[in-house]
């Protein structure tokens, strides 16, 4: 019989759970299995997985995205197997452990805080409940059904922890997101963040970090996300790790959460050397309003942040996400609009628009009365309204967030949105998304799923009345053809040369060598089926080439193939 089964219910199938793997890695003297599923699985399928295990002790990793499911699964599991011991752990049960046990009599124990050492002690003491009171961070029921607890949790020495991954397991996880930590804690005290409740920062040695990173590269992992809250808090340490990754090479993508204003010239110059796809950054700006930043405990040099972001983006080798949070103190709808416009103007690869979560244990939750917070009583405890922003305004932002994700973050509308924002067809990018969202609402588009082609059609239809010179339609068509589908939907004007012209062009080996070298010695008929040629105004061609926009009636031809475009010399048009 297994000593323990650890259960992880992830937010998405592509995610993995670091916590259960770290716990298992420390229990070398025990038989431990992991069940990993997602919130999209059915409750009864989750229970079936547990009941299929030959085990009487189950540990569940609890977060805001899975807490309700965990309680449903553990209730059914306990009633199906009453002799089983149910243990919960994780951030969602670490700040109200006693209340959670009182409210749910099917739970046996909760480990608050870091659990590696405490879980090992619990398994060693399970036949002697009297020893439970000596286990750090443990909350438990006595034989008399009283709720008791051990001493305060103990911060782990990260150097003593065993590495949570094996080569065999990573082979099965190659296409999933792997999570990894080089440190715990955070030097900052942002009022909305659980990491602010930890005192100080503990780090792994650089030698250990290098060894771990090399393991992921050798295993060929697709993406590794570091869960370190502020990776560059120690800039010298950050430089050493980035230098190691750049020298090591490999195809693994590494994702880091960074503080955008704390990058010096040496680090930025170092990042320029990184091969494309190696490094991905997520920078939490949260707001550009100084009153808001002060209220949440963030000290950000916004001018420096913008300069650093622009330099990094100019290298075109690092995928960069910028984050904003709606619902923060003092940030009205108009103030948020200003933050949005300032950040999207930097042209990040992704603008992640999130909504304040009043998490258990955070300062912002305790300041609810000060700022008039109304938030959901259930996970993820998202903001409903406060003194500064109404619920209707926040719901409007939620709809805008959908469009930002589908159009801006998808990467499929880069030319369209770039031209749209630069052309001043709307007062600001936020005004565009706001009006576009109203259009989606009136047309009922939010209520139905949308294919890629439909997204282009909707944008095309919406912008018709704003597109006096027709360049907006050209921009949208250009983006669509970069998808490489080879199909031109009927809502676009077909500006292709006639078939005879195209074949004559493709029959000339000099043309193929110059414009489509990948098709050298390929029959014209085969090339024809794999490329798309369309005419565009010279005005649009000059725009995508970064030249001055002078209107004229001339046209240029563009060849599209596998997400790339090449303009044919004007002589052929």
> What does the pLDDT average to over 40-53?
96
pLDDT value, residue 155: 87
DSSP H helical ranges for 2-133: 18-25, 43-51, 67-80, 97-103, 116-125
Non-local (6+) Cβ contacts of 321 within 8 A are 280, 281, 282, 283, 348, 349, 350, 351, 352
Q: Is the pLDDT reported for residue 20 higher than 50?
A: yes
pLDDT value, residue 457: 96
Considering 381, 408, 435, which residue would you say is the last residue of a domain? 408
In a domain, 487, yes or no: no
In a domain, 540, yes or no: yes
Pairwise pLDDT comparison (189 vs 28), residue with the higher score: 28
In a domain, 156, yes or no: no
CA angle at 119 for the pair 85 and 147, rounded to the nearest 5°? 55
Together in a domain, 173 and 320: yes
Together in a domain, 551 and 526: yes
Q: Is the pLDDT reported for residue 216 higher than 70?
A: yes
Together in a domain, 266 and 394: yes
CATH number at residue 322: 3.80.30.20
pLDDT value, residue 486: 79
> What does the pLDDT average to over 119-127?
92
Together in a domain, 121 and 171: no
For 222-262, write each residue's pLDDT tens digit. Answer: 999 999 989 999 999 999 999 999 999 889 999 999 999 99
For 510-536, write each residue's pLDDT tens digit. Answer: 999 999 999 999 999 999 999 999 999
Closest by Cα among 532, 536, 533, 534 to 555: 536
Considering 425, 458, 481, which residue would you say is the last residue of a domain? 481
In a domain, 51, yes or no: yes
pLDDT value, residue 545: 84
Together in a domain, 297 and 178: yes
Together in a domain, 128 and 13: yes
The three-state (H, E, C) secondary structure of 408-470, written as one string: HCCCCCHHHHHHHHHHCCCCCHHHHHHHHHHHHHHHCHHHCCCCHHHHHHHHHHHHHHHCCCC
pLDDT value, residue 22: 97
Q: Is the pLDDT reported for residue 366 higher than 50?
A: yes
Q: Is the pLDDT reported for residue 37 higher than 50?
A: yes
Together in a domain, 360 and 217: yes
Mean pLDDT, the chain, integer: 93
Calculate what percentage of the chain has a pLDDT beyond 70: 97
CA angle at 201 for the pair 196 and 204, rounded to the nearest 5°? 140
Provide the domain count of the chain.
Answer: 4
pLDDT confidence of 573, banded at 50, 70, 90?
very low
Strand order in the sheet with 147-149: 32-38, 4-10, 57-61, 85-89, 109-111, 138-141, 147-149
Q: Is the pLDDT reported for residue 399 higher than 50?
A: yes
Count the neighbouring beta carbons within 10 Å of the beta carbon of residue 162. 11
Question: Helices 414-423 & 471-481, crossing angle to 10 degrees?
Answer: 160
pLDDT value, residue 511: 93
Rounded Cα gap, residues 489 and 453, in angstroms: 8
Calculate what percentage of the chain has a pLDDT beyond 90: 83
Together in a domain, 125 and 232: no
In a domain, 157, yes or no: no
The three-state (H, E, C) secondary structure of 181-221, written as one string: CCEEECCCCCCCCHHHHCCCEEECCHHHHHHHHHHHHHHCC
Q: Is the pLDDT reported for residue 571 higher than 50?
A: no
pLDDT value, residue 572: 43
Together in a domain, 177 and 262: yes
> What does the pLDDT average to over 144-163?
90
Considering 427, 458, 481, which residue would you say is the last residue of a domain? 481
pLDDT confidence of 546, banded at 50, 70, 90?
confident
Together in a domain, 60 and 94: yes
pTM equals: 0.92
Q: Is the pLDDT reported for residue 351 higher than 80?
A: yes
For 463-501, write each residue's pLDDT tens digit. Answer: 988 877 789 999 999 999 999 887 899 999 999 999 999
In a domain, 161, yes or no: no
What is the distance between the terminal CA atoms of the chain, rounded to a whole angstrom? 76
Range of the domain at 28: 4-149
- Give just the sign of the alpha carbon dihedral 534, 536, 542, 543: negative
Together in a domain, 341 and 310: yes
pLDDT value, residue 449: 84
Q: Is the pLDDT reported for residue 551 higher than 60?
A: no
The answer to whether residues 65 and 39 touch, using CB atoms and an 8 Å cutoff, is yes
């Amino acid at each position: 019989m297994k000593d323990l089964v650890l259960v992880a219910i992830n937010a998405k199938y592509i995610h993995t759970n670091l916590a259960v793997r770290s716990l298992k890695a420390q229990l070398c003297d025990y038989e431990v299995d992991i069940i990993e599923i997602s919130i999209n699985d059915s409750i009864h399928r989750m229970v079936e997985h547990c009941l299929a295990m030959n085990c009487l002790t189950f540990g569940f990793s609890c977060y805001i995205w899975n807490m309700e499911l965990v309680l449903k699964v553990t209730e059914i599991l306990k009633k199906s197997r009453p002799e089983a011991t149910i243990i919960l752990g994780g951030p969602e049960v670490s700040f109200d452990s006693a209340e959670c046990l009182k409210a749910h009599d099917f739970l046996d124990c909760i480990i608050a805080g870091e659990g590696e050492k405490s879980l090992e002690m619990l398994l060693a003491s399970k036949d002697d409940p009297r020893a439970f009171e000596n286990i750090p961070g443990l909350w438990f029921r006595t034989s008399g059904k009283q709720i008791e607890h051990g001493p305060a949790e103990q911060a782990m020495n990260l150097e003593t922890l065993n590495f949570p991954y094996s080569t065999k397991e990573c082979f099965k996880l190659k296409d999933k997101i792997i999570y990894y930590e080089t440190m715990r804690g955070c030097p900052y005290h942002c009022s909305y963040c659980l990491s602010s409740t930890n005192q100080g920062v503990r780090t792994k040695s650089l030698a250990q970090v290098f060894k771990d990173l090399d393991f992921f590269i050798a295993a060929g992992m697709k993406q590794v996300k570091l869960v370190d809250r502020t990776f560059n808090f120690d800039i010298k340490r950050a430089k050493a790790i980035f230098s190691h990754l750049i020298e090591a090479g490999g195809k693994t993508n590494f994702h880091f959460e960074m503080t955008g204003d704390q990058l010096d010239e040496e680090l930025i110059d170092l990042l320029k050397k990184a091969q494309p796809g190696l490094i991905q950054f997520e920078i939490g700006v949260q707001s550009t309003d100084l009153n808001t930043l002060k209220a949440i405990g963030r000290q950000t040099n916004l001018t420096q942040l913008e300069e650093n972001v622009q330099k990094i983006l100019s290298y075109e080798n690092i995928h960069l996400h910028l984050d904003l949070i709606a619902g923060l103190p003092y940030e009205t709808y108009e103030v948020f609009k200003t933050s949005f416009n300032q950040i999207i103007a930097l042209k990040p690869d992704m603008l992640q628009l999130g909504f304040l979560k009043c998490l258990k244990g955070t300062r912002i939750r305790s300041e609810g009365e000060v700022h008039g917070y109304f938030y959901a009583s259930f996970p993820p405890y998202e903001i409903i309204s406060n003194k500064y922003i109404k619920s209707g305004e926040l719901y409007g932002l939620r709809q805008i967030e959908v469009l930002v994700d589908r159009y801006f973050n998808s990467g499929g509308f880069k030319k369209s949105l770039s031209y749209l924002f630069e052309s001043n067809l709307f007062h600001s990018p936020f005004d565009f998304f706001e009006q576009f969202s109203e259009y989606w609402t009136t047309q009922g588009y939010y209520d139905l799923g949308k294919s890629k082609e439909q997204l282009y059609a909707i944008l095309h239809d919406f912008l018709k009345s704003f597109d006096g010179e027709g360049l907006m339609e050209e921009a949208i068509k250009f983006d669509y053809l970069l998808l490489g589908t080879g199909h031109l939907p009927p809502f676009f004007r077909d500006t292709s040369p006639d078939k005879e012209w195209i074949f004559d062009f493709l029959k000339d080996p000099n043309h193929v060598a110059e414009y489509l070298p990948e098709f050298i010695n390929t029959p014209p008929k085969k090339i024809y089926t794999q490329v798309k040629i369309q005419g565009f105004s010279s005005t649009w061609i000059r725009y995508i080439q970064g030249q001055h926009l002078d209107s004229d009636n001339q046209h240029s031809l563009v060849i599209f193939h596998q997400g790339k475009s090449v303009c044919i010399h004007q002589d052929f048009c």
